[in-house]
Structure 1
Amino acid sequence: MKELENIKDHILVCLSSSPSNKKVIDTASRMAKVFNAEFTALYIESANKMSRDNELRLQQNTEFAREQGANIVTLSGEDIAFQVSEYAKKSQVTKIILGRSGYRPNRLFTPPNFVDKIIKYSPEIEIYIIPDKAQKMYFGQ
């Protein structure tokens, strides 16, 4: 039990261009304050080109995370879920806060999505999912 007392919480939120990302960042920020935890916002750059609107929204979300006290980290990679989980393990993250829409058509026949992969790659880390019904409209589904 003594070992658990010495563990400092470290909360990780993923940055994105999603309009709902601000809600996820806000939730992570509040959790970091409650747990008196280190707070990191992580963005994984990939080779995919973003639209100007998405770039602007990502900048706004990054600035919002910074204003909320997050340490901003940017890494590169194509398997974003793997990169997030590897960073989390190396940085001793204890909680990952993610957003996800409730929209899941044909759930049995679709490959694992980002959240599913994070859960698979990081079984020892607590994962918190912040639902967003509005995200369905953002992704045009």
Structure 2
Amino acid sequence: MTTPEVLFVCVHNAGRSRMAAALLHHHAAGRVVVRSAGSAPADEINPAVVTVMAELGIDVSREFPQRLTTEAVEAADVVITMGCGDACPIFPGKRYLDWQLDDPAGLPADRIRPIRDEIDRRVQALLAELVPGSA
């Protein structure tokens, strides 16, 4: 059995997709290959996202937004979009999910925590699907 690969995509790759990738990486503990990217990457990870992730013991402070590439989509088994719209290429045989989540850009940490927690809930449910017995 091959290791499943998940790609999280949002516009800036500085908030939602970064939180999702870090949370799945944390929970999967090597059982899933995790990537994230953005259709128009920002210059840095949202500082408030760094703060709320650090509260969970997850350090994303050294991460940098990555540009979405066709190769990243082709490599993924599951592509989860979070507001990138038409910028995500579609390939037959891929599983696509669209998670409608508020954009944390410009929000203070207290408004990002509920977004982070919802992403964490969805990530754990996805992990349970991808790696049965992981919950």
| Range class of TM-score, shorter chain | 0.3 to 0.5
Scaled by the length of structure 1, the TM-score of the pair is 0.44
Q: Which has the larger radius of gyration?
A: 1
User: Quick check: which one's helix share is greater?
Assistant: 1
Scaled by the length of structure 2, the TM-score of the pair is 0.45
User: Quick check: which one's strand share is greater?
Assistant: 1
